[in-house]
Structure 1
């Protein structure tokens, strides 16, 4: 008679010792949130308004770099 080979039970590396997640303090998140928000506003300006009378840089260099993104986001440019 053939013996059946049963593999031993494999225990999970996490097991039952799952520690609860601790929330991040607002002091740690707030500077990054302000940085990302400011960066998003600057990018939105360059894509949406860097042209014509509100232009910060002269010429059409910035406009050409963000031209396709401008159309993708629905901003008119010409």
Structure 2
């Protein structure tokens, strides 16, 4: 075996550079998730009283504990 052909130190595998993700691919998902979060915030925080979309207390009772967890008063 030739001494000049073996490296004196271990060779690590090359690391690939991270692949950039285009904003055009992320933007529709970001808008969709943002709208879903706003919808969830509406149902947890404002679905009662004058701004109520659904009549009755079903939505209020469904998100009641979430309201208290997030600090929204309801009593």
TM-score of the two chains, using structure 1 as the length reference: 0.79
Gaps of 5+ in 1: 1-10
Indicate which of 33, 37, 49 corresponds to 2:34: 37
The size of the alignment, in residue pairs, is 65
Equivalent-residue separation in structure 1 for 2:35 and 2:50 (angstroms): 22
Q: Does 1:52 align with 2:49?
A: yes
Deviation at 1:17, TM superposition (A): 2.3
Equivalent-residue separation in structure 1 for 2:15 and 2:59 (angstroms): 51
Q: Does 1:63 align with 2:49?
A: no
Equivalent-residue separation in structure 2 for 1:50 and 1:23 (angstroms): 40
CA-to-partner distance for each residue in 1:37-64, whole Å, 9 max, x for gaps? 0000000000000001100000000000
Q: Does 1:73 align with 2:70?
A: yes
Gaps of 5+ in 2: 1-9
- The ranges of structure 1 where at least 4 consecutive aligned residues each deviate by more than 4 angstroms after the TM superposition are none
Equivalent-residue separation in structure 2 for 1:27 and 1:73 (angstroms): 33
